[in-house]
């Protein structure tokens, strides 16, 4: 039902024209649905006052379980269209009752909430979920979160966050799905489908709100709310595709970004809101501002005051204002003065009403918690556990110290502040997370080990930022008496998320010193890191035997980590973001351009290798850092297993492919080790010559497969014309003839390569 907003804006009050326009283009049932919805919208708008229309465009913050007189009256007279951050079911139902039964037109409310990675049952942070490379599991997680949130009366989730980001300093990378546009689009679409279900009007379906439109993840220096400068070509090829994928998956709303984009704040950016979203993508849902972002247009220096901020956002096409009241205060005056017209107002209001109708709120405004599955039921906990399990990435495993053998280990020293902290493992944005549900690693380990081995736990540090060495002596004593040391380190949850950017992304506090103290005991040292972002780990890697990166794993993080430590399952997570060696490499990401002087191992010169007083032109001819090289610590898509996978026999269905047709790329994947395990098979593509320069590699497909020891399987990927298309110099989506390289492997550093040529004898390039 998407694709017709401009038509609606001009003729939504004339349903007979809709019949003529759509005849023969849609099946009868779809035509009837569209006509019924647009007829209802037209009827409502014809009866609304200007104040009631602006009311639909106004969202206010809830009062945490109460309804102040001012809010009661505003809802009753139709001055409120949405309430956010109200999760008390009795209060939500009463607000809906006032809106439906006491307001003049009976229009129900949208109840919004940041349901970012679970509700009461908390999933791994989105960046952790992205490490699973498992769209179906991500979809199931969002479905679970939607059901729990819907039982509290929520019908609108401000998620998923699909900002592509290549800067781990940015705190909100924790909420993202990583650095890759394709992975973010696939998983973001899966989240949208999970939140919204198969039918928006059914219980448990809530409207999704992909955010932040657009480019927020490119904030300068990783500082939140900061300026973003993104050339239009890069914007279209990297940052916008996930939003298009989310809309294609049925997303009903979008949230505007706080940041400015090339000098024009997103909340007042007509290029984004009109040209791209409405004209090109034909989006017929609505856009909500971020918190107070309309008011902030004047703080940016884009407008002179709140009045002009309201005008800029309104004329850009922002339908609803979150938390502030510039629309309510100034839109009536604009109408009276003729600066805007009623048709513009009606079109923006119609978008909001359309979503409310699709959600079935007019028929079912109230919530009965009894019609939903119980919170944190066994099925929900199993989804959270599986999501945590698949998100864990094995970064190092020297001398196969992992998995731990319970038959040979009689004592373990569990050291560090993150081993038994039910709050910190939940991560950022868990307003509704139930800490009492958390199962910590220490709890899980003790339950698993039982009386087979002794576990000695020393927290050492009160929190991850502790700089005191108090407790070190006790930890050293425990480690000295143990067969192995398992350290639980990382970042507290508050160190990532909104407005929590870091310039130094190494382990905070004296954690590195604690690692060194454990190393000096001579015992095997396993480090489990829980964090909201990629970290620089160079200062500890030579002192540890194994590293598991568990992100902030959520409610069931403990059992999942335990399963990996003791080999109940093999680790299968893959990095959704590159880990730099040092922060000075940022931004560093796999899908970079080649440049005219690309580095190679042969041309790389380290700072220590440069002779004193060497002539300036005798070194430095390639693109790299003298002190960090040109490779990351860990590449995108990287992750070890307890078995070994080999790749062989890569091939393409044809060496020459006519434009407009598809090519199949396949390779054989074999488990050559001794453990049954999952592998994430990844397909990368490079267009060697383009109208604009293309990345050295781009992820274009992935598949999670489970193989028994000795088992082989041929994995195939189909590349269609859309997979080879890109926006060229004219900002048109094009495919071009030429040579393409393809790789299949276990990371973005895959070496198994083939190639094919796209041919078009009739034209140099073809717009699609």
What confidence tens digit (pLDDT) does each residue in 571-588 have? 999 999 999 999 999 999
Asked if residue 137 has pLDDT above 50, the reply is yes
What DSSP assignment string belongs to 514-566? Answer: HHHHHHTTTS-EEEEEE-SS--B-TTTGGG-SEEEE--S--TTHHHHHHHHHT
Grade residue 24 by pLDDT with cuts at 50, 70 and 90.
low
Is beta strand 525-530 parallel, antiparallel or unpaired with respect to 733-735?
unpaired
Return the pLDDT at 359: 98
pLDDT over 70 at 343, yes or no:
yes
Using the predicted structure, report yes or no on whether residue 18 has a pLDDT greater than 60: no
pLDDT above 70: percentage of residues in the chain? 95
For the cut 90, the answer to whether the pLDDT of residue 22 exceeds it is: no
User: Which domains are present in the chain?
Assistant: 391-565 (3.40.50.1700), 589-631 (no CATH), 645-767 (2.60.40.10)
User: In the prediction, which pLDDT does 760 show?
Assistant: 86
Q: pLDDT tier at 28 (50, 70, 90 boundaries)?
A: confident
Express each pLDDT in 196-242 by its tens digit: 999 999 999 999 999 999 999 999 999 999 999 999 999 999 999 99
Is the pLDDT at 2 greater than 80? The verdict is no
Q: Which pLDDT does position 68 carry in this prediction?
A: 97
Sign of CA dihedral 530, 547, 168, 178: negative
> Do 717 and 745 touch, CB atoms closer than 8 A?
no
Q: Which two tokens stand for residue 171?
A: 């705190």
pLDDT in tens, 159-187: 999 999 999 999 999 999 999 999 999 99
Q: Which of 764, 708, 719 is CA-nearest to residue 738? A: 764
- Give per-residue burial for 208-243: e unless 16+ CB within 10 Å, then b: bbbbbbbbbbbbeebebbbbbebeebebbbbbbbbb
pLDDT tens-digit series, residues 450-474: 999 999 999 999 999 999 999 999 9
Span 629-676, pLDDT tens digits: 999 999 999 999 999 999 999 999 999 999 999 999 999 999 999 999
Q: Which of 105, 96, 40, 95 is nearest to 68 (CA)?
A: 95
> According to the model, what pLDDT value does residue 59 have?
98
373-402: pLDDT as tens digits:
999 999 999 999 999 999 999 999 999 999
Looking at the predicted structure, is the pLDDT value of residue 566 above 90? yes
Asked if the model's pLDDT at residue 360 lies above 50, the reply is: yes
Q: What is the per-residue pLDDT for 16?
A: 40
> Would you call 103 helix, strand, or coil by DSSP?
coil
| Statement: residue 510 has pLDDT above 90 | yes
d(CA 375, CA 147): 9
What pLDDT is stored for residue 762 in this prediction? Answer: 73
State the DSSP code for 374: P
- The pLDDT, as a whole number, for residue 616 is 79
Mean of per-residue pLDDT scores for the chain:
94
Q: Which residues are catalytic?
A: 290
Which residues sit opposite 667 in a β-bridge? Answer: 715
C-alpha distances in Å from residue 25, one per residue of 247, 350, 354, 577: 20, 23, 21, 43
Cis amide bond preceding 405, omega within 30: no
Q: What is the pLDDT of residue 618?
A: 58
pLDDT digits (tens, 9 = 90+) for 607-632: 998 889 888 775 568 898 989 999 99
């Amino acid at each position: 039902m998407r694709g017709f907003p401009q038509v609606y804006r001009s003729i939504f009050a004339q349903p007979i024209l809709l019949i003529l326009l759509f005849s023969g283009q849609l099946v009868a049932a779809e035509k009837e649905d569209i006509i019924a919805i647009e007829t209802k919208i037209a009827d409502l708008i014809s009866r609304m006052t200007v104040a009631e229309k602006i009311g639909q465009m106004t969202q206010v913050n809830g009062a945490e379980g109460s309804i102040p007189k001012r809010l009661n009256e505003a809802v009753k007279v139709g001055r409120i269209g949405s309430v956010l951050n109200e999760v008390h079911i009795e209060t939500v139902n009463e607000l809906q009752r006032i809106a439906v039964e006491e307001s003049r037109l009976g229009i129900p409310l949208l109840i919004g909430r940041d349901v970012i990675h679970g509700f009461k049952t908390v999933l791994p942070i989105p960046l952790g979920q992205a490490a699973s490379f498992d769209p179906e599991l991500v979809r199931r997680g969002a479905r679970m979160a939607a059901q729990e949130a819907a039982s509290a009366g929520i019908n609108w989730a401000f998620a998923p966050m699909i900002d592509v980001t290549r800067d781990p300093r940015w705190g909100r990378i924790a909420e993202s799905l990583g650095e890759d546009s394709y992975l973010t689009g696939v998983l973001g679409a899966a989240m949208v489908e999970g939140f919204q279900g198969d039918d928006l009007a059914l219980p448990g379906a809530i409207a999704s709100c992909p955010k932040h439109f657009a480019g927020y993840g490119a904030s300068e220096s990783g500082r939140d709310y900061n300026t973003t400068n993104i050339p239009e070509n890069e914007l279209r090829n990297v940052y916008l595709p996930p939003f298009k994928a989310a809309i294609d998956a049925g997303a009903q709303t979008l949230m505007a970004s706080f940041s400015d984009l090339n000098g024009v704040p997103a909340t007042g950016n007509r290029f984004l809101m009109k040209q791209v979203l409405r004209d090109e993508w034909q989006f017929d849902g609505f856009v909500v501002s971020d918190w107070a972002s309309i008011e902030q247009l004047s703080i940016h220096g884009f407008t002179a005051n709140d009045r002009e901020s309201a005008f800029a956002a309104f004329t850009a096409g922002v339908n609803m204002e979150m938390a502030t009241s510039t629309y309510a205060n100034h839109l009536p005056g604009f109408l009276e003065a003729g600066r805007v017209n009623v048709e513009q107002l009606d079109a923006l209001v119609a978008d909001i009403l359309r979503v409310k109708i699709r959600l079935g709120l007019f028929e079912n405004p109230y919530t009965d918690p009894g019609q939903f599955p119980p919170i944190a039921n066994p099925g929900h906990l199993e989804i959270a556990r599986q999501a945590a399990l698949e998100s864990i990435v094995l970064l190092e495993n020297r001398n196969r110290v992992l998995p731990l053998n319970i038959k040979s280990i009689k004592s373990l020293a569990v050291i560090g502040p993150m081993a038994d902290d039910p709050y910190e493992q939940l991560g950022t944005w868990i307003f509704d997370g139930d800490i009492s549900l958390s199962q910590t690693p220490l709890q899980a380990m003790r339950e698993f080990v039982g009386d087979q081995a002794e576990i000695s736990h020393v927290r050492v540090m009160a929190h991850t930022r502790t700089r005191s060495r108090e407790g070190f002596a006790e930890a050293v004593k425990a480690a000295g008496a143990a067969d192995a040391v398992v350290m639980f380190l990382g970042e507290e949850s508050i160190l990532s998320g909104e407005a929590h950017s870091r310039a130094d992304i190494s382990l905070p506090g004296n954690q590195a010193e604690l690692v060194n103290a454990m190393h000096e005991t001579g015992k095997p040292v396993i480090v489990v890191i829980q964090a909201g972002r990629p970290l620089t780990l160079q200062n500890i890697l030579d002192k540890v035997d194994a590293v598991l990166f568990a992100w902030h794993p959520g409610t069931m993080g403990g059992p999942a980590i335990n399963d990996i430590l003791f080999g109940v399952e093999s680790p299968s997570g893959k990095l959704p973001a590159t880990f730099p060696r040092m922060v000075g490499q940022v931004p560093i990401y796999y899908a970079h351009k080649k440049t005219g002087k690309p580095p190679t191992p042969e041309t790389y010169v380290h700072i220590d290798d440069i002779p004193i007083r060497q002539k300036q032109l005798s070194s430095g001819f390639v693109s790299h850092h003298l002190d960090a090289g040109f490779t990351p610590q860990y590449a995108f898509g990287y992750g070890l297993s307890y078995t070994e996978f080999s790749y062989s026999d890569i091939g393409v269905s044809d060496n020459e492919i006519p434009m407009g047709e598809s090519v199949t790329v396949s390779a054989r994947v074999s488990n050559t080790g001794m453990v049954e395990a999952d592998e994430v098979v990844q397909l990368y593509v490079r267009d060697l010559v383009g109208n604009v320069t293309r990345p050295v590699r781009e992820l274009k497909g992935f598949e999670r497969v489970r193989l028994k020891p000795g088992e082989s399987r041929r994995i195939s990927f189909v590349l269609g014309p859309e997979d080879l298309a890109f926006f060229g110099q004219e900002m048109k989506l094009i495919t071009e003839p030429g040579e393409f390289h393809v790789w299949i492997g276990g990371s973005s550093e895959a070496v198994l390569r083939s190639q094919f040529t796209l041919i078009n004898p009739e034209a140099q390039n073809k717009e699609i």
